[in-house]
Amino acid sequence: MEKQFDVIIMGGGAAGLYGALNLDKRLRVLVLTKQSETLSNSSLAQGGIAAVTDTKNDSVQKHINDTLVAGGFRNDRRAVEILTTEGPADVMNLAKLGVDFDLNEDGTPNLTLEGGHTRPRILHHKDCTGKAIVDALLVKVHERENITLLSDAVVCELKKTEHTFHALVLLPSGEQVTLHSRFFIIASGGIGRVYEYTTNSAIATGDGITLAYRMGVPIKNLHFVQFHPTAFANRKTRESFLISESVRGEGAYLLNCHGNRFMHEYDERLELAPRDVVSRSIMEEAKRTGSDHFYLDITYKDPDFIRNRFPLIYENLKKEGIDMTTDRIPVFPCQHYLMGGIQVDSDSQTTIPGLFACGECSHTGVHGANRLASNSLLEAVVFSRRAASVINEQALRTPAQFDDFEFSPVLPERELPHGFRTEIRAIMQHAYFVAPDFAAAKEGVKRVEEIKNELDRPGYHLTRDYVEARSLAYVAYIILKELIEE
């Protein structure tokens, strides 16, 4: 296989694919996905993508204000301005690339409301907007002759020499290859699998964040973890499917174990308060009632409207024996998103020249301490496009040079001990769920550091399981360390 590229992109979600499509067609681009090309956190995004497209009833300033309020004013103001002012053009470009956003009869976008937004500004495709975006981008990526997409490829190590990035990649066959590029974009998604329960996909183990950290790149605010208030509470599986914020946006009520609404006791914005507020309110209500049984109820709406507006959620719930047109939906908070990550500037550049990070794995500062609903897909496309613009300018201005370097094959001396990942997840769930338990965090970080140090010993059999366990250990260590130092 070809081993030299102008740009290697680690991750095939919205940020990775949109970034690839914005790179100049003269550049040779490789997109690596850890499992199938359709598996990413982006594909699981239900609600939509936020952008001011109705300037008569909305404004960029209102979107800025909503983002700052939701983020507890811990946002980077410059990043928020970039997101909200440049975002509408990128969303319109997504439509040109084939994303089928739902429209009104007059052809204008059908905008919905979500928690924390003071105006309807969420463009959507039913309740599977992320999948619609990723599927459309994949079609375009496969049409581009300069882009190669390689699936089931695990990036195990990353090194920078004078002119070149070198990635040690584990192929599905078990073969270890060293791939080289002039520029490298980390778009590896989130860290949800560090928790016992998450809405994230199986690949969300923080691999890109770990690689950047091991290279000396600053990681910032990794403890800014978002817990979505309304994941489906089936209490059986590690991966919990989301009951989108847009269900509440369309009028669903949040009920306690007695079947009563309660958000008025905690926040005047009721069910449409920002996610962190609703999650904390549920935990307080659970203490008050002595029960962790909570429900969403949208049964008062027209059944045909519910089925047409939320077909994916409706079908997923039907498989669980619940008809959301007639039944209440069991919900409970669950780990959902990461606001911190690899520190980057407004063009997604890290402190290492030529190394960029985009999407959920990056820290642009745009989300502050809590992400406003549907700003995630917007951040992915805005800042990956900005990264591509910088790379285009730099790559076409300088001739290609590649340094010689090959990773030495890892000769296995020991197998991954059983249970490390399970232990890490239990520590994180206990130390930091919705609100941190600082005593548990101080105790947990000691054990996590022991696991991290053990997995850093040379000679482990290089497998996907090993890479993911090491990443989870690093991620948990950084989160808990930040928590107890804040």
Q: Give the residue numbers marked as catalytic.
A: 275
Mutual orientation of helices 464-485 and 207-214 as an angle, nearest 10°? Answer: 70
Cα 128 off chain centre by:
15
Q: Are 356 and 349 in contact (CB under 8 A)?
A: yes
Q: Are 435 and 283 in contact (CB under 8 A)?
A: yes
Intra-chain end-to-end CA distance of the chain, in Å: 47
CA distances from 296 to 44, 266, 290, 366 (A): 20, 17, 19, 29
Cα 154 off chain centre by:
18
Main-chain dihedrals φ then ψ at residue 362, nearest 5 degrees: -100, 160
Closest CA to 1 of 178, 130, 154: 178
C-alpha to C-alpha distance for 444 and 482, rounded to whole angstroms: 13
Question: Where do we find the tokens 């030529």?
Answer: 354
Q: Are 402 and 164 in contact (CB under 8 A)?
A: yes
How is the chain split among helix, strand and coil, in percent rounded to 5?
40, 20, 40
